[in-house]
A and B are shown apart, each in its own frame.
Chain A
Amino acid sequence: MGINYLYPPFEIIRNQDRCIACRVCERQCANLVHHYDEDKKRMTADESLCVNCHRCVSLCPTRALKIVKTDHTFKENANWKTEVIEDIYRQAQSGGVLLASMGTPKEYPVYWDKMLINASQVTNPSIDPLREPMETRTYLGKKSAKITRDGEGRIITSTTGQLKLDIPIMFSAMSYGSISYNAHKSLAMAASELGTFYNTGEGGLHKDFYQYGKNTIVQVASGRFGVHPEYLNAGAAIEIKMGQGAKPGIGGHLPGSKIGEDISATRMIPLHADAISPAPHHDIYSIEDLRQLVYALKEATRYTKPVIVKVAAVHNISAIASGIARSGADIIAIDGFRGGTGAAPARIRDNVGIPIELALASVDQRLRQEGIRGNVSLVVGGSIRSSSDVIKAIALGADAVYIATSALVALGCHLCRTCHSGKCNWGIATQNPELVKRLNPEVGSQHLVNLLTAWNHEIKEMMGGMGINSIEALKGNRLMLRGIALHETELKILGIAHAGQ
């Protein structure tokens, strides 16, 4: 072992006047930061183990703790920043790939924050959602391009499956394995109560959760973990995972150490065997091949379930989406590069893909130009943080959005970005039973319901302000958006005018 060049990034400030040495912090920290010093008769800490998840801070009964960023620095350098230097130290010492979790923390433009929403004044009355009906229900799936009638003149209604959403927000894919049983249960319960959907991710569906099937989207990825006819038929829709925004071009790998008994049963693989989902589906090299899998799933479920194809937002996403819209898929889900992950190589997470706002605008535009927008619904994810992000996404052309990081934050996630360690003190991204039980699914689901109920009300208020009384009328309504501090190319891609225009 050489010298460790890495100085702990956080300092644990303990107010010894307030500390009563109750040792809650010690019991709560899976990273083993805190301990009681018998000689000195007081609590002490090894800050080098701290991930800044705030579990101890939140549970300290006397508010004796806070975590601050260390002010220890290298000589300041705008190019060779601390993190750059430290990453080199890490790799020089280990020879390893840098592994990280959650969405990229790097400073890339967030276009949601560079778009402003319209409101009515004088000429077009705004609507008060408390007083007047306001529709946030939406349906996902292929829409017929023309009306056809039978011999009696009655309209023949669409026969392809549609997903009915009471709010235009769904919980996006997080596998059982990447998140805990209680986190999955919270999502499933909340989706049922809210009239929307959660997504199994690629880890199969735990037998306890089949009861939430009508609010479940089941995922099929390259490894096909836990995929069998009963699973495919358990959900309301099937999602083919081609890519993920946080790691386009990269597959999933749940290490054998995380494959305990329950996960093994759900994924249908042996205990402690690695679960490898390679980046490509080795049977899909073309849109025609994708079509083959789409229809294999439709045949297996007797054409009763809509099929979603999920892709990461990458450079030529509009051409890719155009292909998917012709593959027979009913819904395209696009995941932007700020989307989260339970584990991804940091360099890929931080550098590969494009922001969801630009991907969405260009895909919607392209599908309209080609006259195939009605073939599919568009669902977007990859860092939807608030109701105004939802409004902006829908105005740019989305039918609905996927949220995951926001949902985890509602469950107590503090975005410490160490999911890959498996030691989540909040019971979310862990399989350690002692940690998992810290998340109460009843409370968790209530928080999710609260969050989306609040967002839904805000959505109604913003729509009302625009004089719009249904999500359908907001969809693709880019006149309701203006850019702020954006240059011409960005405005052109987003298809919006600049503020003041």
Chain B
Amino acid sequence: MTHITAGFMEYEALNKAVRSMEDDQITIEQANGQRYIGSALMDKHLFIKGTAGNALGCFLDGGTITVYGNGQDATGDTMNDGKIVIHGSCGDGTGYAMRGGCIYIRDSSGYRSGIHMKAYQEKQPLLIIGDRAGSFLGEYQAGGTIIVLGRNQDGRPPVGYFCGTGMHGGTMYLRCDTLPVSLPKQVSARDAVDSDKQVLSCLLDEYCTIFSFDKQMLLASHFFVLQANSAAPYRMLYTHV
């Protein structure tokens, strides 16, 4: 394990230092919002203490990033593979267009989390948020899985407005007793049944182990399953000139 103290280092110098290290286990101490940490890395394991800046793990292609603190905006932007674990909360646009790997957030995430999430063959991304997500969760979702656990929401919907706007693929699981108000018409919602709980149980396994959450207690609650209403909600009626 190699240690770097980020302090007030510029992000370019910090990221260059991280990339040039031969050790694949690196701890970054005193992170102060430096951007792009772990960008496009594929074979390293980063442990960040402090606050990771915008676009943490953007284009990540493997390896792991663990933050003991909060992430900021665009965590895991366009990530292709690997794992990001946040022992805290994240800002807006978490997992923008992620296509693979997983992002585990212990607490909450901002607006537009999981926007443009995709999937392709073995690439099946997973975003799990422990408490609540802001508005526009899973906007334009085209694939993959988003789970929001609402751990401190007492059964209230753990999402903001316009959840799943433009959704045309993938699945969202929301742990709550009532549906979010004004779900867009592209989204269909149903109660989770036993088979869904089995899927959830697998998906939550690692997450609950990492954060020491009681998986059975979580699974005992009510979940909604949100999916796209039709295969092609954007099939507007066009007429050709």
Interface residues of A (CB under 8 A from B): 87, 90-91, 93-100, 222-224, 227-230, 232, 253, 255-256, 264, 268-270, 272-274, 276, 278, 282-283, 292, 295-296, 299-302, 346, 417-418, 420-421
The list of the 10 closest CB pairs from A to B, nearest first, reads A96-B239, A224-B97, A300-B40, A268-B120, A94-B239, A299-B39, A96-B237, A99-B238, A299-B36, A228-B80
Which residue of B is nearest A95, CB measured? B237
Q: Do A276 and B166 touch (CB < 8 A)?
A: yes
Q: Do A91 and B142 touch (CB < 8 A)?
A: no
With a CB–CB cut-off of 8 A, which chain B residues contact A230?
A: 61
Q: Do B59 and A296 touch (CB < 8 A)?
A: yes
Task: Encode B207-241 as 1/0 by CB contact (under 8 A) with A.
Answer: 00000000000000000000000011111111111
- 16 A-B pairs besides A97-B237, A296-B74 with CB distance below 8 A are A90-B241, A95-B237, A97-B239, A99-B238, A222-B116, A269-B119, A270-B143, A273-B142, A276-B140, A276-B142, A276-B168, A283-B92, A283-B112, A296-B59, A299-B36, A346-B241
Q: List 5 A-B contacts (CB under 8 A).
A: A98-B239, A98-B241, A224-B78, A283-B92, A295-B35
Distance, CA A93 to CA B238, complexed state (A) = 11
B74 CB contact (under 8 Å) in A87, A100, A273, A283:
A283
Distance, CA A383 to CA B47, complexed state (A) = 51
With a CB–CB cut-off of 8 A, which chain B residues contact A283?
A: 73-74, 77, 92-93, 96, 112
Q: Do A302 and B168 touch (CB < 8 A)?
A: no
Distance, CA A256 to CA B169, complexed state (A) = 12
Distance, CA A232 to CA B58, complexed state (A) = 12
Distance, CA A99 to CA B78, complexed state (A) = 31
User: Is B107 an interface position by the 8 A CB rule?
Assistant: no
Tell me how far the C-beta of B141 lies from the nearest C-beta in chain A, rounded to whole angstroms: 11
Most buried by A among B166, B239, B241: B241
With a CB–CB cut-off of 8 A, which chain B residues contact A269?
A: 118-120, 142-143
Distance, CA A100 to CA B238, complexed state (A) = 10
Chain B: interface residue count, which band? 35 or more
CB under 8 Å from chain A, chain B span 47-65: 54-55, 58-59, 61
Q: Do B241 and A256 touch (CB < 8 A)?
A: no
With a CB–CB cut-off of 8 A, which chain A residues contact B169?
A: 270, 273
Known pairs A95-B237, A283-B93, A302-B19; A296 contacts B39 (CB<8 A): yes
CB under 8 Å from chain A, chain B span 65-94: 73-74, 77-78, 80, 92-93
Tell me how far the C-beta of A240 lies from the nearest C-beta in chain B, rounded to whole angstroms: 12
Tell me how far the C-beta of B100 lies from the nearest C-beta in chain A, rounded to whole angstroms: 9
Interface residues of B (CB under 8 A from A): 11-12, 15, 19, 35-36, 39-40, 42, 54-55, 58-59, 61, 73-74, 77-78, 80, 92-93, 96-97, 99, 112, 115-116, 118-120, 123, 136, 139-140, 142-143, 166, 168-169, 231-241
Known pairs A90-B241, A222-B116, A276-B140; A295 contacts B232 (CB<8 A): no
With a CB–CB cut-off of 8 A, which chain A residues contact B240?
A: 98-100, 418, 420-421
Q: Do A292 and B35 touch (CB < 8 A)?
A: yes
Which residue of B is nearest A300, CB measured? B40
Q: Do B239 and A256 touch (CB < 8 A)?
A: no
With a CB–CB cut-off of 8 A, which chain B residues contact A96?
A: 236-239
With a CB–CB cut-off of 8 A, which chain A residues contact B140?
A: 223, 276, 278
Which residue of A is nearest B77, CB measured? A296
Distance, CA A274 to CA B228, complexed state (A) = 12
Tell me how far the C-beta of B168 lies from the nearest C-beta in chain A, rounded to whole angstroms: 6
Distance, CA A272 to CA B11, complexed state (A) = 41
Q: Do B118 and A256 touch (CB < 8 A)?
A: no
Which residue of B is nearest A229, CB measured? B40
Distance, CA A223 to CA B96, complexed state (A) = 9
With a CB–CB cut-off of 8 A, which chain B residues contact A253?
A: 234
Most buried by B among A87, A98, A264, A295: A295
Distance, CA A228 to CA B112, complexed state (A) = 21
With a CB–CB cut-off of 8 A, which chain B residues contact A299?
A: 11-12, 15, 35-36, 39-40, 55, 58
Most buried by A among B12, B19, B54, B97: B97
Q: Do B36 and A99 touch (CB < 8 A)?
A: no
With a CB–CB cut-off of 8 A, which chain A residues contact B233?
A: 274
Q: Do A273 and B239 touch (CB < 8 A)?
A: no
Q: Do A229 and B42 touch (CB < 8 A)?
A: yes
With a CB–CB cut-off of 8 A, which chain A residues contact B99?
A: 224, 228, 268
Which residue of B is nearest A301, CB measured? B40
Which residue of A is nearest B123, CB measured? A268
Q: Do A300 and B54 touch (CB < 8 A)?
A: no
With a CB–CB cut-off of 8 A, which chain A residues contact B12?
A: 299
